[in-house]
């Protein structure tokens, strides 16, 4: 039988961050209960507005944002940067930390009972609100997510490996169940929204074509495609089974840099994926070396098993004429 350790006693959580982490975990447990009640808890998936990035807001998006902000103002969080807020707001003027958060990731899946989640990133606070979060991803103190699914889990890194805590369903306590999560090195899965194929840059199309060519193609292996449209769910699957996730920029207006936000989505996911032995890039350059120019800035995002992330980068490194020639010969979606 696996030994479990209560989150309150986990030696893997830095003492200075423990109250903040317990606050996040408490709100996560409350949200998990609300989500489990589904329509009995109200119209959680109802459209209620549009956020700064132009995405539709669901009722649960706003509920989650309000719940985290209310709880965290009683902790050491000075600056609170949320997908649902236009600007970084001050919670506790005496706080030591800045927290960036997507309070409810994958909200389009609320009504279809698919895993959704919360993504967060923690920095040391600076005197300026924007200066506290618009900085290299490598300066994160912690990054992680809570996934609300068949199991509710908190997955987090503090820069010394990646850990998993499970919300025990009987007593509602969080317990450590994996102290050293590792991305499997071998997998034949990739995750991408194939409906956007015609808009992708040629290196991405060439990479996917090679995967789809199967045993007869240059990869000499058959691959499966997955797509959940929930970054947390995609991340949890890759941490469990390996593979690669791609959300590239493409040729459509407003999609040039993809649709995922750097500060509170890609940076924390990249941090915990790298700490689990995986890789994370914008297609060619590491996410951990990037700095967002503004709070809601987007970036292309590729992460997963290191060999697959490196292979995608190799396609981007090819001269354009070489990729064009290869693509012309093996584009499986072409007539």
Instruction: Let me know whether 151 and 19 are in one domain.
Output: yes
- Which residues, listed in sequence order, are joined to residue 89 by a DSSP beta bridge? 80
Please check the confidence at residue 334 and state whether its pLDDT lies above 70. no
| Residue 84 among known ligand-binding residues | no
Asked if the structure places residue 221 within a domain, the reply is yes
Angle at which helices 231-241 and 267-275 cross, to 10°: 10
Asked if the structure places residue 215 within a domain, the reply is yes
Instruction: Let me know whether 134 and 13 are in one domain.
Output: yes
Q: Which residues contact 170 (CB under 8 A, 6 or more apart)?
A: none
Quick: pLDDT tens for 26-71: 999 999 999 998 887 777 877 766 776 667 788 899 999 999 999 9
pLDDT for the residue 134: 98
| Residue 265 among known ligand-binding residues | yes
| Residue 107 among known ligand-binding residues | yes
pLDDT for the residue 52: 64
- Enumerate helices (H) and strands (E) in the chain, giving the number of each: 8, 16
The H or E element containing residue 24 is helix 18-37
DSSP assigned state of 286: B
- Which residues, listed in sequence order, are joined to residue 280 by a DSSP beta bridge? 303
| CB-CB contact of 155 with 305 (8 Å) | no
| Residue 104 among known ligand-binding residues | yes
Please check the confidence at residue 248 and state whether its pLDDT lies above 50. yes
Measured CA to CA, the distance from residue 305 to residue 185 in angstroms comes to 5
Instruction: Let me know whether 257 and 283 are in one domain.
Output: yes
Quick: pLDDT tens for 258-296: 999 999 999 999 999 999 999 999 999 999 999 999 999
| Residue 317 among known ligand-binding residues | no
Please check the confidence at residue 2 and state whether its pLDDT lies above 70. no
pLDDT for the residue 50: 72
**How many domains, the chain?**
2
Q: Which residues contact 328 (CB under 8 A, 6 or more apart)?
A: none
Which tokens sit at 57?
Answer: 């807001």
- Read off the pLDDT of each residue in 183-204 and give the average, rounded to a whole number: 95
Asked if the structure places residue 321 within a domain, the reply is yes
| Residue 167 among known ligand-binding residues | no
* Domain assignment of residue 137, given as a range: 5-178
| Residue 102 among known ligand-binding residues | yes
Residue with tokens 């396609």: 315
Instruction: Let me know whether 146 and 17 are in one domain.
Output: yes
Please check the confidence at residue 140 and state whether its pLDDT lies above 70. yes
Confidence bin at 327 (pLDDT 50/70/90): very low
Please check the confidence at residue 133 and state whether its pLDDT lies above 90. yes
Quick: pLDDT tens for 76-119: 999 999 999 999 999 999 999 999 999 999 988 888 999 999 99
- Which residues, listed in sequence order, are joined to residue 5 by a DSSP beta bridge? 176
Measured CA to CA, the distance from residue 241 to residue 237 in angstroms comes to 6
- Read off the pLDDT of each residue in 232-258 and give the average, rounded to a whole number: 96
Please check the confidence at residue 332 and state whether its pLDDT lies above 70. no
pLDDT for the residue 55: 72
Give the mean pLDDT of the chain.
92
| Residue 106 among known ligand-binding residues | yes
pLDDT for the residue 322: 63
Instruction: Let me know whether 150 and 221 are in one domain.
Output: no
CA 312-314-317 angle, 5° bins: 120
């Amino acid at each position: 039988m696996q030994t479990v350790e209560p989150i309150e006693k986990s030696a893997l959580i830095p003492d200075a961050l423990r109250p903040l982490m317990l606050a996040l975990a408490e709100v996560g447990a409350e949200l998990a209960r609300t989500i489990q009640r589904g329509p009995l808890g109200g119209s959680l998936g109802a459209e209620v507005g549009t956020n700064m990035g132009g995405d539709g807001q669901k009722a649960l998006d706003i509920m989650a944002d309000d719940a985290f902000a209310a709880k965290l103002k009683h902790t050491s969080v000075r600056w609170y940067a949320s997908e649902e807020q236009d600007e970084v707001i001050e919670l506790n003027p005496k706080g030591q930390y800045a927290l960036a958060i997507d309070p409810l990731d994958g909200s389009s899946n609320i009504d279809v009972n698919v895993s959704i989640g919360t993504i967060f990133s923690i920095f040391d606070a600076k005197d300026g609100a924007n200066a506290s979060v618009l900085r290299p991803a490598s300066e994160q103190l912690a990054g992680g997510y809570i996934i609300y699914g068949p199991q509710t889990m908190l997955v987090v890194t503090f820069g010394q490996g990646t850990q998993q805590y499970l919300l025990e369903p009987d007593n509602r306590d969080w317990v450590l169940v994996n102290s050293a999560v590792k991305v499997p090195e071998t997998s034949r899965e990739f995750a991408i929204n194939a409906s956007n194929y015609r808009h992708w840059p040629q290196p991405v199309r060439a990479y996917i074509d090679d995967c789809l060519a199967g045993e007869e193609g240059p990869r000499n292996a058959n691959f499966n495609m997955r797509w959940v449209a929930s970054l947390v769910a995609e991340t949890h699957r890759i941490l469990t089974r390996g593979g690669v996730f791609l959300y590239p920029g493409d040729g459509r207006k407003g999609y040039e840099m993809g649709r995922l936000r750097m500060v509170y989505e890609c940076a924390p996911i990249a941090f915990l994926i790298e700490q689990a032995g995986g890789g994370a890039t914008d297609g060619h350059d590491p996410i951990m070396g990037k700095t967002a120019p503004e709070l809601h800035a987007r970036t292309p995002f590729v992460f997963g098993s290191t060999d697959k992330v490196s292979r995608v980068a190799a396609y981007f490194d090819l001269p354009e004429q070489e990729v064009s020639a290869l693509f012309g010969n093996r584009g499986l979606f072409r007539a």
